[in-house]
Structure 1
Amino acid sequence: MNGARTVADLLRASSRSHRDSPAIVGEGRTVTYGDLDTRTNQVAAGLLAHGLERGDRVAYLARNGTEFWELFFGTAKAGPAVVPLNFRLAADEIAWILSDAEPTVLVVEDHLTSLVPADFDGLRLVFSQEGEPTVPEGWQAYEAWLAAQPTEDPHQDVAGDDLLSLMYSSGTTGKPKGVTTTSDAMLAAVEAFSAQFEVGPDTVSLVPTPYYHIAAGGWSLISLAHGGQIIQFVEVTPQSMLGLLVGHRATHVIMVPTVMQMVISNPAAAAADYSSVEHLVYGGSPISETVMLRSQEIFGAKLSQSYGLTETIGVTTILRPEDHVTGADSKLQSAGRAVPGTEVRVVDEEGKDVASGEVGEVVVRGANVTRSYWRRPDATEGAFFDGDWFRTGDAGYLDADGYLFLKDRLKDMIVSGGENVYPAEVENVLMAHPAVQEVAVIGVPSERWGETPHAVVVTKQGQTVTSDEIVAFCREHLAHYKCPTSVEVIDMLPRNPSGKILKRELRAPHWAAAERTIG
């Protein structure tokens, strides 16, 4: 990739070749490659002047904005790591992640500053997507801070096994885990994915998901590495997505199935001009054959499905365009085959290969796979077989042709509208409700979101509770997308002889008619 040795080199190369070409368009500020290169130099210089060193952390708490890429490449040029935060989290959740990541600098959108703990003692920079920001006491305006920095590239790059980014993914214990990504791992992922989609300077990529998702950041980086444009969304609605896709003549589009469903069910979709679209990539939650085929028909483009995790930088398997056919030998319900440079196996509980067609745990190995969870040695050790085979926690099987078919989640994770929800985290909150004796949270099918959290509650003796009360209580403590959208009150939760709750029994009636239970 243009001889890049570091992630910062990707931007330098694109800036040399396409300095006056737009890098980011859509909502928010439009910037050229030259602008982005200069401003990231200033970010890098400012971080170094503030005393940051290699491996220090800089957090971003905001909706999608050009400022994210200034921070991403600025840290890549200076040595610290970027920590994208989910702006939809509650204040307590943000506080826990900040206590774990311990960033030295925060860059925050002005309407989100109230989520930052009062005792955070690092540099606080605030910006606005709508003009001049409101600057609270103890904060500095990002633009004023940036303007005071020199424009020379410091060339103190994050390189090799240096920490490039730290992305938080909730864990089965209810506490988030920081997934570490190195410079070399990100370069490997960009190279692997670029080869699949014929990306180049004429590529215009639609990115309608938040940058705190690896899919959005990784997909954008592929386009930026080749001098293409990314179409940025601050807020995603069917209207804005359709308008920007058509208005900017998107060639490459990434969507979660929820968004695909929004587009194909929009009355304006049939009349829209999709002639610019060359490739549509989807993944992230369950999808029906009907949605696949209807999307293919409407967009008239190549269709690919991507399966991956934050821990694999979103790159594991691809169901390629030539696989999107119907018939007796159709692979449409599979997640495709491993991308070059990544190996996929299915193993038993001891890490030994199971036979073709037999369900086991999916494990992966490759240069793009994380090597550790941040400050979680026990979690890191438990995440690998034989040292370097990462345990995805997903159950599935490989067929005789090497296609991966996903069946269930060993880790109980729910993917709702592309957002990861871990039942243990929701259950921990609901157990604090005064009327709740026991609770189990499961994912149930949702036409809109793919799946959605459903709480099964046992109340304390003599107590009653309504669905609305459970949902409202949960929303006081967690991001709304994590909260149950439906509640069922029963007398007793099903358990096995050792006392473990049998969530499969709770899920079975809801998923009986579904084609598969994970994306």
Structure 2
Amino acid sequence: MTGAHTVADLLRTSSQAHSASPAIVGEGRTVTYGELDTRTNQVASGLLAQGLDRGDRVAYLARNGTEFWELFFGTAKSGAAVVPLNFRLSAPEIAWILSDAEPSVLVVEDHLTGLVPADYTGLRVVFSQEGEPTVPDGWVGYEPWLAQQSATDPRQDVTGDELLSLMYSSGTTGTPKGVTTTGDAMLAAVAAFSAQFEVGPDTVSLVPTPYYHIAAGGWSLISLAHGGQIIQFIEVTPQSMIGLLVAHRATHVIMVPTVMAMVIANPQAAAADYSSVQHLVYGGSPISETVMLGTQKIFDAKLSQSYGLTETIGVLTILRPEDHVVGADSKLQSAGRAVPGVELRVVDGEGKDVPAGEVGEIVTRGANVTRSYWRRPDATEASFFDGGWFRTGDAGYLDEDGYLFLKDRLKDMIVTGGENVYPAEVENVLMAHPAVQEVAVIGIPSERWGETPHAVVVTRQGESVTSEEIIAFCRERLAHYKCPTSVEVIEMLPRNPSGKILKRELRAPHWAAAERTIG
């Protein structure tokens, strides 16, 4: 990535040096760097021919596919911004985001076109990962549209503080927030994080998470910026993950501790040939000594844990390979230390530093940190302390050596199977149930998902409701992963003197045996 002045330059540089080398392998359409460069030129030309101006948005609603990277670099080459949408959302949720982002172009996988509201007026482009797509009235096919465009690079790159991407995460008030990422912020993140994972032209990165998550996009981009390969999954299962890892000789792998534990416990999975793996990165929760030792034995690779947010382009801290040891001074339950270029503090409610070992809010500053939420000046202002310190909303403490220990989520966010769920969004839906007087949604431990939403309900006088009814009501209105998997009916929610629900008291019995209550 030497000499890259824009994100588009990352692909140009890799294409010039590795034109015939595969960029994307695995599931979906395989492309070389030369092919990816040419097709992204066509996307960029098509967007400009459509009349898109600088900063206009282009949305992607699909499972992981090579089309995403054609759109990502195509927007970067044309001055537009990409908006990756969560394909697991419901139609009303998709409609809300589209009304907020106002994309001029929408690229959709064929089986998801029904999620697009009828009143969407932009260019509708449809593609299929299983052959020729069915093209509804008012839509155009992706491949025919692409074939009509010039393959000449327009070089209208997103630069500096211009908008590169807009990624939506659920908001604490129940409405999603668009996290803005600029061109320079992404370049800074790629430069800082590439060194942490020792990537290069021989890197083969396993990418088992959806592209609408910053972790998947960032993890892929640091490989693509250096001429490496990414192993793509349209839909991942433990079996397909291990199969493609072995078949493509992955060198760099992302896994969550629950999958690592599954590999260790499954004799067939544990016996696979993992000799290609050099670096295994995990996140979402700390690793136990048992899982760490088992993983080291099976993979014989470096282990790193990462912690970060969409607002920080994925990584704030790294627990490095040399920290993965057992003993009295082990840092294994920490999230590691800040990566170079990232500043980290723990502060009180007024933004003042607290002593080492004392729990407070984690704040951060760096070139990789978002500057704003899309069209949300109030939310933006509330998310920063003076001096440009971004408030993560996570609670933790720093020890004397600068290691960060995570304790809780100030914003009550639940992470279930790698997906972020904000209780307020679920609570707003459940409050519409005619039998519900009050409700609190909390995260409780789940062996399979890390944690899972649990609803605590107070019913209206004279009313009754079953768990099945509450869950079904929620599933009709929200993505299923956001919905509670269990329901508890009680007479009264615990509150403090000012009337705020004490969710910590509701969570405590469920997390009594847990080391920490945040991933």
Class of the TM-score when normalised by the shorter of the 2 chains: over 0.9
Contact 1:77–1:155, Cα closer than 8 Å, also in 2 = yes
Contact 1:56–1:103, Cα closer than 8 Å, also in 2 = yes
How many Å apart are 1:198 and its aligned residue?
1.1
Paired with 2:160 and 2:341, the residues of 1 have a C-alpha distance of 17
CA separation of 1:87 and 1:261: change in aligned 2, threshold 3 A: farther
Contact 1:238–1:266, Cα closer than 8 Å, also in 2 = no
Greater mean deviation of Cα atoms: 339-348 or 285-294: 285-294
Match of 1:150 in 2: 150
Paired with 1:202 and 1:222, the residues of 2 have a C-alpha distance of 12
Greater mean deviation of Cα atoms: 260-269 or 334-343: 260-269
Match of 1:484 in 2: 484
1:95 and 2:95 are equivalent in the alignment: yes
Note the alpha carbon deviations across 1:171-197, whole angstroms, 9 max, x for none: 100000000000000000001110111
Paired with 2:108 and 2:266, the residues of 1 have a C-alpha distance of 34
How many Å apart are 1:387 and its aligned residue?
4.0
Note the alpha carbon deviations across 1:208-239, whole angstroms, 9 max, x for none: 00000000000000000000000000011111
Paired with 2:266 and 2:152, the residues of 1 have a C-alpha distance of 48
Contact 1:54–1:79, Cα closer than 8 Å, also in 2 = yes
Amino acid at match of 2:279: H
Contact 1:287–1:450, Cα closer than 8 Å, also in 2 = no
Alignment length (residue pairs): 519
How many Å apart are 1:255 and its aligned residue?
1.9
Amino acid at match of 1:32: T
Contact 1:281–1:304, Cα closer than 8 Å, also in 2 = yes
* SS class of match (2:201): coil
Amino acid at match of 2:8: A
Paired with 1:390 and 1:294, the residues of 2 have a C-alpha distance of 37
Paired with 1:451 and 1:430, the residues of 2 have a C-alpha distance of 20
1:315-334 maps to which residues of 2 (within 5 A)? 315-334=315-334
Note the alpha carbon deviations across 1:28-70, whole angstroms, 9 max, x for none: 1000000000000000000000000100000000000000000
1:422-441 maps to which residues of 2 (within 5 A)? 422-441=422-441
Paired with 1:245 and 1:262, the residues of 2 have a C-alpha distance of 15
Match of 1:46 in 2: 46
Percent identity over the alignment is 87
Contact 1:435–1:463, Cα closer than 8 Å, also in 2 = yes
1:220-239 maps to which residues of 2 (within 5 A)? 220-239=220-239
Paired with 2:102 and 2:325, the residues of 1 have a C-alpha distance of 49
Match of 2:443 in 1: 443
Amino acid at match of 1:31: V
Paired with 1:71 and 1:292, the residues of 2 have a C-alpha distance of 38
Note the alpha carbon deviations across 1:140-171, whole angstroms, 9 max, x for none: 00000000101000000000000000000111
1:115-264 maps to which residues of 2 (within 5 A)? 115-264=115-264
* SS class of match (1:469): helix
Paired with 2:486 and 2:287, the residues of 1 have a C-alpha distance of 21
How many Å apart are 1:287 and its aligned residue?
4.2
* SS class of match (2:168): strand
* SS class of match (2:23): strand
Paired with 1:291 and 1:469, the residues of 2 have a C-alpha distance of 38
Paired with 1:46 and 1:440, the residues of 2 have a C-alpha distance of 48
Paired with 1:381 and 1:467, the residues of 2 have a C-alpha distance of 39
Amino acid at match of 2:126: V
Give TM-score, length-normalised by structure 2: 0.99
Gaps of 5+ in 2: none
Match of 2:389 in 1: 389
Contact 2:289–2:326, Cα closer than 8 Å, also in 1 = no
Note the alpha carbon deviations across 1:113-151, whole angstroms, 9 max, x for none: 000000000000000000000111110000000001010
Note the alpha carbon deviations across 1:253-308, whole angstroms, 9 max, x for none: 01233433443333421210000000000112454343333222221110000000
Paired with 1:317 and 1:95, the residues of 2 have a C-alpha distance of 35
Note the alpha carbon deviations across 1:305-358, whole angstroms, 9 max, x for none: 000000000120000000000000000000000000000000000000000000
Greater mean deviation of Cα atoms: 464-473 or 81-90: 464-473
* SS class of match (1:161): coil
Note the alpha carbon deviations across 1:75-103, whole angstroms, 9 max, x for none: 00000000000000000000000000000
Greater mean deviation of Cα atoms: 278-287 or 198-207: 278-287
Match of 1:413 in 2: 413
Match of 2:63 in 1: 63
Paired with 2:437 and 2:265, the residues of 1 have a C-alpha distance of 41
* SS class of match (1:438): strand
Contact 1:55–1:79, Cα closer than 8 Å, also in 2 = yes
How well do the aligned residues superpose, as a CA RMSD in angstroms?
0.9
Contact 1:285–1:416, Cα closer than 8 Å, also in 2 = no
Amino acid at match of 1:199: V
How many Å apart are 1:462 and its aligned residue?
1.0
Match of 1:26 in 2: 26
How many Å apart are 1:26 and its aligned residue?
0.1
CA separation of 1:479 and 1:34: change in aligned 2, threshold 3 A: same
Contact 1:285–1:415, Cα closer than 8 Å, also in 2 = no
Match of 2:506 in 1: 506
Paired with 2:339 and 2:243, the residues of 1 have a C-alpha distance of 32
Amino acid at match of 2:170: S
Amino acid at match of 1:386: D
Paired with 1:245 and 1:479, the residues of 2 have a C-alpha distance of 29
Give TM-score, length-normalised by structure 1: 0.99
CA separation of 1:328 and 1:286: change in aligned 2, threshold 3 A: closer
How many Å apart are 1:202 and its aligned residue?
0.4
Match of 2:80 in 1: 80
* SS class of match (1:364): strand
Paired with 1:141 and 1:266, the residues of 2 have a C-alpha distance of 43
Contact 2:363–2:389, Cα closer than 8 Å, also in 1 = yes
Match of 1:342 in 2: 342
